[in-house]
Structure 1
């Protein structure tokens, strides 16, 4: 490895995995599940509820409780968030039915591991992320997880980045942070981390923040 770099801290969504169908929240089966309780709900009402859920996320200091998030959507739809309905919306489904791994991820992780690079995840996510990664074939690569719903804060809160590097017992300058949100990369750089913004699929490369267009390019740093 070159320089001081010894580890990669990865964001998960948009860097390692993506939702099948393109929507993170609510889950892809949300409409189908709700229509089983009230078949009169229109696409326009669903769209309004989803927008209300996005606003709820935006004003939350951390990733909110899954049931609390669903309560916001259901109340916007005029439905009572009964225990049965909440349980149905939160039922476990195979990760492979709603998520997929980006094509360049496994080869990148394999090569980094071969080179002795340590790896962790820093993600604004719910607590089940490590299990989802394992189902998707990513288990065993990451030594630590900094998950917003567990830590009670979200990026760019310094605690998110530092939880991961502290778990690896490494200094900030020994870690490169990779995220598809350039602002979160810039926040990591201000804390002393090396940063790379991942700009896949022709996304505009951000000014002032070093970027890569494929995850495999991170290998060149080691």
Structure 2
């Protein structure tokens, strides 16, 4: 008598993307930070809105061409050079000065309660994000850092999703196999990549749009898996 296929392992963890899933920028722009123009104008007051728009577009191209999340100073230099502004050490320091995350970022309304309930149920959690190295500090400032045991951050690992190293770093840090982890991202293609690696996956589509991969419209729906 032959046995049937083995049952998939039970889910024990959630791997979250950060931007677009856990938090969003106040005002709608991720990069550069919302105080970029004001900071640069303090050093070069004659710049126009049109010049800033062109420089930010140049920064977007620099980001897109980078194999991983670029160093913040290199990113700022790309925009400053487009503006014709000397990227002095003082200006670069001003652009990366510490500002409380809540000045520019906010968590989505469904985030904290969902994370707290997942934690109460013993679900382990990690973050897989294309981000700068200070993401854990950003999450701590927004009051959600305490929920995460591990981070897979592109600027630290030197690669971005959908590179398998991003997903595997998080699950390995938790001591779990892919099938024990549910990956959640607002980009369906990155969810599809995770599913292809053996993870469970859900695309977060808060606007209700149809996705080619299984999706949820709110993080609270993740509670149905645990």
Query: Is 1:168 matched with 2:174?
Result: yes
* 1:146-182 Cα distance to aligned partner (Å, 9 max, x none): 0111111110110000000000010001001000111
Q: Report what 1:190 is aligned to.
A: 196
Does structure 1 conserve the Cα–Cα contact (< 8 Å) formed by 2:55 and 2:83? yes
Q: Report what 2:219 is aligned to.
A: 215
> For residues 125 and 38 of structure 1, what CA distance do their matches in structure 2 show?
29
Match of 2:209 among 196, 204, 210: 204
Does structure 1 conserve the Cα–Cα contact (< 8 Å) formed by 2:204 and 2:218? yes
Match of 2:157 among 127, 140, 151: 151
Does structure 1 conserve the Cα–Cα contact (< 8 Å) formed by 2:102 and 2:141? yes
Unaligned runs of 5+ in 1: none
In the TM superposition, 1:22-171 aligns within 5 A as 22-171=28-177
The alignment's C-alpha RMSD in Å is 1.1
Question: How much has 1:82 moved relative to structure 2?
Answer: 0.7
Alignment partner of 1:28: what SS?
Answer: coil
Alignment partner of 1:100: what SS?
Answer: strand
Question: How much has 1:3 moved relative to structure 2?
Answer: 5.8
Q: TM-score, normalised by structure 1?
A: 0.96
> For residues 40 and 134 of structure 1, what CA distance do their matches in structure 2 show?
37
Q: Report what 2:23 is aligned to.
A: 17
Q: Report what 2:186 is aligned to.
A: 180
> For residues 101 and 87 of structure 1, what CA distance do their matches in structure 2 show?
27
Alignment partner of 2:145: what SS?
Answer: coil
Alignment partner of 1:140: what SS?
Answer: helix
Does structure 1 conserve the Cα–Cα contact (< 8 Å) formed by 2:9 and 2:179? no
Q: How many residues align?
A: 219
Please say which structure displays the higher CA radius of gyration.
2
Structure 1 ranges of 4+ moved more than 4 A = none
Question: How much has 1:96 moved relative to structure 2?
Answer: 1.0
* 1:14-52 Cα distance to aligned partner (Å, 9 max, x none): 100111111000000000011111111111111111111
> For residues 55 and 85 of structure 1, what CA distance do their matches in structure 2 show?
22
Residues 119 and 68 of structure 1: CA distance in aligned 2, closer, same or farther (over 3 Å):
same
Q: TM-score, normalised by structure 2?
A: 0.95
